[in-house]
Amino acid sequence: MRLPLPQLLYNLPQFTTGFEPATTLDLIRRCSNVIGMKDSSGSLKTLRLLARESIDTSRIIGNDGVLAQGLIEGICDGVVSGVACVLPEIIQPLFAHPPASPAFLSAADSLREVISHIDVLPAPWGLKVIAEERGIAQAVYPLPLSRERELQIQSIREWLRQWLPHIEELQSALHARPTN
């Protein structure tokens, strides 16, 4: 089978029928124009399989919750990150420093903390809250907010205002010399 242009498979089982790891492997092997996979499933099974099989393909993580582990295991080539859009200071150190370094570990902890706060909202509403709080874009939602959602958003805003000074520490770590 040949597709006319280079293609990335996109695994997004939260909104579509997801790819099974073996199906992904088969498609990449059979279709010469399938050049990789963006996996937003939150699982590393498929990327681990592609790495284990030594398949020459791009392995992109699309779920920030597994990014640090994917980098630690050396099974991802990059990320399409929602968090990087609103808090690039967290994602940069993950790529700039070795996985065992203090800067990497601090960024990974910060990423887990951010995700734990915004995951109470539907994706990508938590990112919209952060974007608005940082003056990047106004948060607009497709539905009217219930009182419960308003309280969740207010809680995220309050946490974020207290937490944002932590970004300065991450910036210092980013500019520190990487350790090998």
Predicted confidence band at 173 (pLDDT cuts at 50, 70, 90)?
low
Only one residue has tokens 């089978």, namely 1
Helix (H, G, I), strand (E, B) or coil at 1: coil
pLDDT digits (tens, 9 = 90+) for 4-37: 799 999 999 888 888 899 999 999 999 989 999 9
What is the pTM (predicted TM-score) of this model? 0.88
pLDDT band at 95 (very low <50, low <70, confident <90, very high): very high
Which strand (E) or helix (H) includes residue 84? Answer: helix 82-86
Q: Is the pLDDT of residue 174 over 90?
A: no
140: left (phi over 0), alpha (psi -120 to 50) or beta: beta
Average pLDDT over the chain, rounded to whole?
A: 92
